[in-house]
Amino acid sequence: MHKRVMGASVCFLMLTGCGSMIVQEEAEGPPVVLTIPGSTAVTTTTKPVETTTVPLPVWDENLEIDEENEKIVIQGVPHFTQFSQYLTACESLATCSLLQYYGIDMTPDVFLDGYLPVSDYPEKDSDGELHAEHPANAFIGDPMKGDAFGCYNSAIVRATDKIHKGLALAHNNMSLPELCKHYIDRGEPVVIWATINMARASKTISWHTPGGEIYTFISPEHALVLLGYDENNYYFCDSLQYNDICSYRKEAVEQAYEALGEQSLVINQRVLLQVPDFWRISNVEEMNHDDSE
């Protein structure tokens, strides 16, 4: 079992995606804002899925609530780190944290080897311009290396669809307070796309995508698991922190989240009920281990 420690965050910045770390303060001032086109293969939503008459799992027993300080934090989310391997695999590690939290037996190695869609680094074509896939469709580069770029929420939906169609839902343009109201308050963690240590976002390399657009990568892109909030902070399970739970200032998180297009990802509770038993972790205690090296 993890020992849950809430503390200040260690500051990191990546040169591309979640890799090549240097120290950086939290963001100040207006951020770059990324506009993400809709994926042609994955349907995203801006609203939480409506509930049905089918009884859904209840996860509020995992909530730690401090009424005096108006603080609520989800406990028991497995924590993976990317310091010695999985150097830019933040999206995959955050997804595995969600899957194991819900009792699905998925490890980072298995997810990266057989589920995450991966595409080549940008390369110059005969026209002399860089060409690569869009991160909405696949992870760009090698997630085990520090010079990769990353992927967006619809690419992760493609990966989880291999477990069960519709298992994960990609939300775009849902505010952080909305995510907290619809998911965190119910004990359901959320993967969000932001920046490393909520650093100021900046435009970096651009390339042509197969869809004919010019895409510009926003750095330092990062995905992490939103666990809770209080008046001044949001709390996370962050693969670039040694502590299982860390916090960042609300204003910095909101700027970083907006800069990456307000992308998030949750587990569809209706579909979770349909996942075959062979995916289930046999002993719930087994999912609360730290596979970090």
Query: Residue 57 sits in a domain of what CATH number?
Result: 3.90.70.10
Q: Of 7-16, 161-170, 271-280, where does mean pLDDT reach its minimum? A: 7-16
How many domains are contained in the chain?
1
Residue 240 lies in a domain: yes
Residue 282 lies in a domain: no
Q: What is the CA radius of gyration of the chain?
A: 18
Confidence label for 55 from pLDDT (cuts 50, 70 and 90): confident
Contacts of 278 (CB under 8 A, 6+ apart): none
Check pLDDT > 70 for residue 29.
Answer: no
Residue 122 lies in a domain: yes
Residue 29 lies in a domain: no
Q: What is the pLDDT of residues 68-99, one digit of tens each?
A: 999 999 999 999 999 999 999 999 999 999 99
Residue 232: domain span? 35-275
Residue 130 lies in a domain: yes
Q: Of 87-91, 100-104, 284-288, where does mean pLDDT reach its minimum? A: 284-288
- Which long-range contacts (C-beta less than 8 Å, at least 24 apart) are formed by 199-204? 199/11, 199/13, 199/24, 199/25, 199/26, 199/27, 199/256, 200/27, 200/28, 200/29, 200/31, 200/255, 201/27, 201/31, 201/32, 201/34, 201/255, 201/256, 201/259, 201/260, 202/32, 203/32, 204/16
Q: Can you tell me the mean pLDDT for 115-122?
A: 98
Confidence label for 282 from pLDDT (cuts 50, 70 and 90): confident
Please tell me the distance from the alpha carbon of residue 88 to that of residue 221, in angstroms, as a whole number: 10
Contacts of 44 (CB under 8 A, 6+ apart): 38, 153, 154, 157, 169, 170, 171, 172
pTM of this structure: 0.84
pLDDT, residue 135, reads 98
